[in-house]
């Protein structure tokens, strides 16, 4: 795979004294669905706007398919940008919104054919004569997408593509968006603050914070092996435990138990991550507490989530989250509030957060 389709090199950007991006480097492959994930103020939208040509970076350059596009105007770039607000033209109907970007270079007949094709692809044929204000949020999103895709861009930039949709529509659209992207093989780069959205859409994603990229990898890798404390907390539910070396093993003051790690550590003191679904929960009668990688605690809170039950378990000074999959429909399998239970995990499930 061509790893140098979109190359972002040493991009920095400040607005006045406010440093928004600091030395950003990213390589994105052709046909990749790439996510930029960060909370507000992380600089993710500014980075996307630099790619779109709406902001000029202070330093660095952007290469797209071997061409330097850093100094090109938005209308000279072979890419398109889908706005969070969709920015559809209120004075034009759906047909003319879709045709807006191809009116210049195409004959009337070609325009008709192209618009019909794109409308069919997005199932909006029946809306072509509607005005923008007559469309629902989901329909507007499709028109905005179609208006970009009709230009057959090399790269499509999407600013919070699903943020304006309600929750049910969002998950449906997520699936459609990935299917569409795999079908068209256009490179998608999108920005989101929603970690679930980033995980489900991205082939790879970058976590941004304060104008820096903390990590860039596949969603699985970032979830399972986060490198930093920030990422571990930002993605999914995380139990973060501080441990320090005590003799052969590691010890946590908060939990009052010993940890056995499979690898050597640089520091004598560190944070470890234990994802809640990696913890096995058993009735105290079934098992004896072992001295390593397990503890006994009391169920403080419990919320039934359908396929899972989430428990908050108090052990000494700490509350640990545990997700237990509901295998059986037998309700005895669920532990009641206040029950003493034993939690255990595999040594491999413990992830050391070095940073």
Partner 1 sequence: MKNKLFEKYFVFSPYFWLVLFFFIPLAIIFKISISVSEWGMPPYQDIFLFDNGFKINTTFENYVYIFSDYYYIGSFVNSLILALISTFFCLLIGFPLAFYIATSNIRLRNILLVLVVIPFWSSFLLRVYAWKIILQNNGILNVILLNLGITSEPLQLLYNQYAVIMGIVYTYLPLMILPLYGYLNKFDLNLIEASKDLGLNRIKTFFKVILPLSVPGIVAGSLLVFIPVVGEFIIPEMLGGSDRLYYGKILWEEFFVNRNWPGASALAFSGIIILVLPIVIFQILYSHWSQKNEI
Measured CA to CA, the distance from residue 121 to residue 143 in angstroms comes to 11
Which residue among 18, 109, 133, 286 contacts partner 1 (CB under 8 A)? 133
Does 154 bind partner 1 (CB under 8 A)? Our answer is no
Site for partner 1 in 97-126 (CB under 8 A): 100-101, 104
Q: Which two tokens stand for residue 341?
A: 């239970």
91 binds partner 1 (CB under 8 A): yes
Contacts with partner 1: how many residues (CB under 8 A)? 25
Q: How far is the CB of 348 from partner 1 (least distance, A)?
A: 47
Least distance to partner 1 from the beta carbon of 244, Å? 52
Q: How far is Cα 133 from Cα 293, in angstroms, rounded to an integer?
A: 59
Please pick, from the candidates 44, 142, 147, 204, the single residue that binds partner 1 as defined by CB under 8 A.
147
| Angle (CA) 21 165 129, round 5° | 110
CB of 52 to partner 1, least distance (A): 6
SS (H, E, C) 153-216: CCEEEEECCCCCCCHHHHHHHHHHHHHHHHHHCCEEEEEECCHHHHHHHCCEEEEEECCEEEEE
Residue 49 CA to residue 56 CA, distance in Å, equals: 9
Near partner 1 by CB under 8 A, which window of 31-39, 108-116, 143-151, 253-261? 143-151
Question: Rounded distance, CA 327 to CA 172, Å?
Answer: 26
Total residues belonging to the chain? 355
Give me the least distance between CB of 113 and partner 1, in Å please.
Answer: 18
Question: What is the smallest separation between the CB atom of 161 and partner 1, expressed in angstroms?
Answer: 14
Judged by CB under 8 A, the chain residues 160 through 219 that form the site for partner 1 are none
Distance CA 267, CA 277 (A): 27
d(CA 73, CA 15): 20
Between 68 and 87, how does the x/- string for binding to partner 1 read (CB under 8 A)?
-----xxx-x--xx-x-x-x
Residues 349 and 296 sit within 8 Å (Cβ to Cβ): no
Assigned token pair, 96: 């003319």
Cβ nearer to partner 1, comparing 190 with 259: 190
CB-nearer residue toward partner 1: 77 or 209 = 77
Q: Compare residues 145 and 199 and give the one whose CB is closer to partner 1.
A: 145
Interacting residues toward partner 1 by CB under 8 A? 52-54, 73-75, 77, 80-81, 83, 85, 87-91, 100-101, 104, 131-133, 147-148, 151
């Amino acid at each position: 795979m061509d790893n140098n389709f979109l190359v972002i090199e040493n991009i920095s950007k400040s607005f006045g004294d406010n440093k928004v991006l600091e030395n950003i480097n990213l390589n994105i492959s052709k046909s990749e669905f790439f996510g930029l994930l960060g909370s507000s103020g992380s600089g993710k939208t500014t980075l996307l706007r630099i790619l779109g040509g709406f902001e000029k970076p202070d330093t660095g350059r952007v290469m797209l398919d071997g061409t330097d596009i850093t100094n090109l105007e938005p209308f000279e770039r072979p890419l398109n940008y889908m706005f969070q607000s969709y920015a559809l033209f209120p004075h034009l109907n759906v047909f003319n919104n879709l045709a807006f970007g191809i009116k210049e270079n195409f004959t009337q007949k070609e325009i008709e054919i192209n618009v019909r094709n794109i409308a069919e692809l997005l199932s909006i044929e029946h809306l072509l004569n509607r005005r923008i204000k007559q469309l629902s949020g989901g329909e507007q999103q499709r028109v905005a997408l179609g208006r970009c895709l009709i230009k057959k861009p090399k790269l499509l930039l999407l600013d919070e593509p699903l943020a304006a949709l309600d929750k049910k529509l969002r998950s449906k659209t997520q699936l459609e968006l990935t299917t569409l992207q795999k079908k068209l093989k256009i490179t998608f780069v999108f920005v989101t603050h929603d970690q679930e959205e980033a995980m489900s859409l991205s082939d790879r994603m970058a976590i941004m914070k304060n104008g820096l990229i903390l990590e860039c990898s596949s969603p699985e890798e970032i979830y399972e092996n986060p490198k930093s404390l920030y990422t571990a907390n930002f993605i999914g539910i995380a139990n973060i435990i501080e441990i320090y070396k005590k003799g052969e093993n590691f010890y946590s003051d908060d939990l009052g138990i010993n940890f056995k790690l499979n690898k050597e550590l640089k520091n004598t003191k560190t944070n470890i991550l234990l994802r809640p679904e990696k913890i096995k929960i058993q009735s105290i009668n079934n098992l004896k507490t072992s001295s390593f990688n397990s503890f006994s605690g009391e169920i403080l809170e419990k919320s039934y989530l359908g396929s899972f039950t989430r428990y908050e378990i108090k052990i000494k000074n700490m509350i640990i989250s545990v997700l237990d999959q509901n295998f059986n429909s037998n309700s005895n399998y669920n532990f009641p509030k206040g029950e003493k239970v034993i939690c255990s995990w595999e040594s491999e499930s413990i992830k050391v957060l070095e940073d």
